[in-house]
Amino acid sequence: MGTSVMILVVLTTLGLVFGFILAYANRKFAIEINPLIHIVEDVLPKGQCGACGYAGCQAYAEAVVLNPEVSPNLCIPGKEPIAKAVAELTGKAAAEIEPRIAQVRCAGSEGKAVKAYHYEGVRDCVAANLMFGGQKVCKHGCLGLGTCVQNCPFDAMTMSAEGLPIIDPSKCTGCGKCETVCPKHVIAMMPLTASVRINCNSKDKGVVARKACTVACIACSLCMRECPHGAIKMENNLAVVNPDICHTLCSDARCLLKCPTKAIRPAVLGLVPGSENQASVEAVCVSCRQTGVAG
């Protein structure tokens, strides 16, 4: 009995001694945290998407408060309102942010894109890509397993029945998280002012691309030659549109009529890529109404 009491007394004494030591060390070596960091963090949207270049909202809040060279407009999801709020709190000037949205650069859905084999592995695009580049003959197209959807911090993406992601324009912040996780680099950010877009990511030559997918860009250059403003260029067998030139100068999108595979389409938001030519889209296709181009 006496031994048990002695052990209890010793342990209690040691606990108290170490407790006092830790309390003293905590006060002696405590680092004072700038309260403005917490204020700025509370303003941020908490998506933890990393679009600002920092590991989460807290890291960006620390950087923008403590480092004079860190801009207050790096929070892409927050857009202009958050940039102005952070600038006001930190006493910095915030440059204007151009709104952007995710674009799925592939219309190779079921029935349009040829498959090389049937994939039954893990439902993850990165895993499928390790198996000979995925199940599609086109090694540049969307694999349709929803890795982008699973990683969207704002629930702005869903998988369609056709096996392609759909972007919800009311929720997409343009953070770019989906862009970074896609192993095929199918997803890219485009400005909200874009009039037309290329629903293809293939870098193959025309004959090869057309055999792999019926809606692929075949590098025929008809769209480029039809554009009088030089807004379209061919890069690695793929048409690339300059959205600034297209939006500012073009009032007659004749490129949409010339594409033999319909790889270039109006930049309609919230639809499955490749469905922009449906008659039902005409009601919401601002680009079509402005240019008089039918789907």
- Give 23-48 pLDDT, tens digit per residue: 777 676 656 678 898 999 999 988 88
Which residue, 259, 257, 263, 242, is CA-closest to 195? 242
**pLDDT tens for each residue of 162-179:** 999 999 999 999 999 999
**pLDDT tens for each residue of 131-164:** 999 999 999 999 999 999 999 999 999 999 999 9
pLDDT > 90: percent of the chain? 61
Strand partners, 264: 198
CATH 2.60.120 fits 35-90, yes or no: no
**pLDDT tens for each residue of 247-293:** 888 887 888 888 999 999 998 889 999 888 644 344 334 433 343 33
**271, two tokens:** 């639809």
Across the range 90-108, mean pLDDT stands at: 90
Task: Determine the topology of domain 100-291 in CATH.
Answer: Alpha-Beta Plaits (3.30.70)
Burial degree of 20 (CB within 10 A; 0-12, 13-18, 19+): exposed
Considering the entire predicted model, what is its pTM?
A: 0.75
> Is residue 294 predicted with pLDDT exceeding 60?
no
Q: What is the pLDDT of residue 28?
A: 65
Domain ranges of the chain: 35-90, 100-291
Range among 5-19, 96-110, 132-146 with highest mean pLDDT value? 132-146
> Is residue 210 predicted with pLDDT exceeding 80?
yes
Q: What is the pLDDT of residue 30?
A: 58
Q: Give the Cα separation of 80 and 61 in Å (integer).
A: 16
Contacts by residues 24-28 (CB-CB < 8 Å, ≥ 24 positions apart): none
**130, two tokens:** 């390790």
